[in-house]
Amino acid sequence: MTTHAATFRAPRLHFGPVLLGGLLVGTFDLVFASTWWKIAHDVPPIRILQSIGSGLLGEASFEGGVRSATIGGVAHYFIATCMVLAFALVATRVPALLRRPIAWGVPYGLFLYGLMTYVVVPLSAAAPSKSVNVPWVTASIVVHVLIGVACAFIARRAVR
């Protein structure tokens, strides 16, 4: 008796969509932050990038000009790409994530917000914030939810 077992092929991760997704997610987040802080406090975009760079360089980042802003930009896009990559890697093992990108992307975005706010930034060399800016926190949570959903949709293209 011959049996024909269904051939199972694990989904493969394609890095092109992950890299493009990191670029898109990172740019969306950077445009959001730069626009918010420019409108709210007249902070120039270079200062946003230096602020990101301060996670690696500490307060010296704000005196490093374009060089520290570039370090901040590279770090920012690296983190954005890791966010996309992490969701896509898990989705290769849990394909249900790909079938419901909004349902899974929303909690992923909330997870990313918590991870960045309560783990990554406190462990970095960036100076802790002296106060809570409620409108900024609220907007950041919304943006991270959108980023989580974007990661889920990007993963659909990356995992095949």
Structure confidence at residue 1 (pLDDT): 54
Backbone angles phi, psi at 133, to 5 degrees: -100, 95
Cβ(114)–Cβ(145) below 8 Å? no
How far apart CA 8 and CA 23 sit, in angstroms, is 32
Hey, which residues does 159 pair with through a beta bridge? 13
Length of the chain: 160
Domain ranges of the chain: 15-158
pLDDT by residue (tens digit) across 60-92?
Answer: 999 999 999 999 999 999 999 999 999 999 999
Q: Which segment of 5-9, 37-41, 87-91, 109-113 scores lowest on mean pLDDT?
A: 5-9
pLDDT by residue (tens digit) across 99-157?
Answer: 999 999 999 999 999 999 999 999 999 999 989 999 999 999 999 999 999 999 999 99
**9 pLDDT band (50/70/90 cuts)?**
confident
Structure confidence at residue 5 (pLDDT): 58
Local structure of 4: helix, strand or coil = coil
46: pLDDT strictly greater than 80: yes
Structure confidence at residue 10 (pLDDT): 75
